[in-house]
């Protein structure tokens, strides 16, 4: 595996990133199928994800525990906090608006990251990036306009808050290249459980619900994030963004297929604007990269 990543870094990066994104394809559907309050989902999902990640580190990367001081570092503390509150925002949005809205608004995260990086790090944004930012937020506004009539505006707001936490997450990962942040991520999962606990009714669950929660937290969340932390080290940001958009498209389709939750017309129009803007931006960036190579 190590030799393949060295000899074919882009192919390895694509494969790992695609696998990480594919983990999340059924996530919204699985959360819906649990059939309980989303804060209850947050408690058990975070606990399963945290325990599985800690066990995985103990088995395959025990050296991560020797660097426990990373938890008290700036990047480590930021990752824990962002992971903790981000999952609460995501699950809250899934419960308060349609799955399509929650996932499509989430697609604004890379461009929120670009805006924040431009402001904090004084990075100059290209015209293509500015154009994509305007188009993405136009799409978000179209989606929100539909929620004004449908009563899901609060959930859309939670989805936008989740996108903001993910944008900051990207910035922290970029500011700490080469550092193993899986231990802070695991603690962040457990922090999600603690944050959600006071708001969760915690009803008794049947075996099917426990299985779905274990799947969502212990497999989808922990496995997907572990792969996505690795993959982007080998790929340009534009390629990563393009691959991650598959979740935005496939996730709502699975909920539509599995539960008959048909996206509103405004969601389809706004989502189309967002996906088109991101895909066009990624193609432009890839062409720019190939000219410079």
Half-sphere exposure of 51 (CA within 13 A, CB side): 13
The residue ranking higher by pLDDT, 231 or 206, is: 206
Q: So what's the pLDDT on residue 14?
A: 82
**What mean pLDDT do residues 173-187 have?**
81
Lowest model confidence (mean pLDDT) among 22-36, 129-143, 168-182? 168-182
Residues belonging to the chain: 293
Half-sphere exposure of 170 (CA within 13 A, CB side): 19
CA distance 51 to 261: 32
Helix (H, G, I), strand (E, B) or coil at 179: coil
Q: So what's the pLDDT on residue 289?
A: 63
Q: So what's the pLDDT on residue 279?
A: 82
> Does pLDDT of 162 surpass 60?
yes
CA distance 24 to 254: 11
* Token digits of residue 31: 């959360």
Strands (E), 91-169: none
Tell me the CA distances in angstroms from 223 to 17, 49, 56, 97, one per residue in order.
Answer: 11, 9, 10, 26
* Token digits of residue 165: 């936490």
Q: So what's the pLDDT on residue 120?
A: 75
Residue 35 has a CB neighbour count (10 Å cut-off) of 12
Condensed to tens digits (0 to 9), the pLDDT of residues 78-103 reads 999 999 999 999 999 999 988 888 88
Q: So what's the pLDDT on residue 157?
A: 93
- For helices 153-175 and 127-150, the axis angle rounded to 10 degrees is 150
The residue ranking higher by pLDDT, 4 or 119, is: 119
- Contact call for residues 20 and 224 (beta carbons, < 8 A): yes
Tell me the CA distances in angstroms from 56 to 24, 232, 273, one per residue in order.
Answer: 19, 20, 39
Q: So what's the pLDDT on residue 61?
A: 86
Q: So what's the pLDDT on residue 161?
A: 94
Condensed to tens digits (0 to 9), the pLDDT of residues 120-139 reads 767 677 888 788 888 888 88
Condensed to tens digits (0 to 9), the pLDDT of residues 29-49 reads 999 999 999 999 999 999 999
CA distance 94 to 229: 24
pTM of the model as a whole = 0.86
Q: So what's the pLDDT on residue 293?
A: 54
> Does pLDDT of 1 surpass 60?
no
Contacts of 224 (CB under 8 A, 6+ apart): 20, 21, 23, 24, 27
């Amino acid at each position: 595996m190590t030799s393949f990543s060295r000899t074919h870094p882009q192919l390895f990066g694509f494969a790992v990133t695609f696998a990480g994104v594919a983990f999340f394809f059924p996530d919204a559907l699985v959360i819906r199928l649990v059939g309980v309050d989303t804060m209850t989902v947050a408690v058990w999902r975070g606990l399963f994800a945290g325990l599985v990640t800690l066990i995985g580190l103990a088995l395959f990367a025990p050296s991560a525990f020797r660097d426990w001081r990373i938890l008290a570092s700036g990047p480590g503390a930021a990752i824990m906090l962002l992971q903790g509150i981000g999952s609460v925002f995501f699950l809250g949005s899934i419960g308060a608006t349609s799955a399509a809205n929650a996932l499509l608004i989430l697609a604004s995260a890379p461009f929120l990251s670009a805006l924040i990086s431009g402001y904090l790090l004084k990075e100059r944004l290209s015209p293509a990036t500015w154009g994509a930012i305007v188009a993405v937020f136009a799409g978000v506004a179209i989606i929100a306009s539909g929620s004004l009539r449908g009563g899901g505006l609060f959930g859309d707001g939670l989805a936008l808050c989740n996108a903001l936490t993910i944008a900051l997450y990207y910035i922290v990962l970029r500011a700490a290249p080469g550092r193993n942040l899986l231990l802070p991520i695991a603690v962040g999962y457990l922090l999600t459980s603690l944050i959600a606990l006071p708001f969760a009714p915690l009803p008794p669950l049947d075996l099917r619900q426990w299985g779905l929660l274990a799947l969502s937290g212990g497999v989808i969340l922990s496995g997907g994030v572990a792969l996505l932390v690795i993959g982007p080290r080998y790929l340009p940001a534009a390629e990563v963004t393009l691959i991650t958009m598959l979740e935005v498209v496939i996730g709502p389709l699975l909920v539509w297929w599995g539960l008959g939750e048909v996206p509103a017309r405004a969601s389809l129009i706004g989502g189309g604007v967002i996906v088109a803007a991101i895909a066009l931006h990624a193609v432009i960036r890839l062409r720019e990269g190939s000219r410079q190579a």
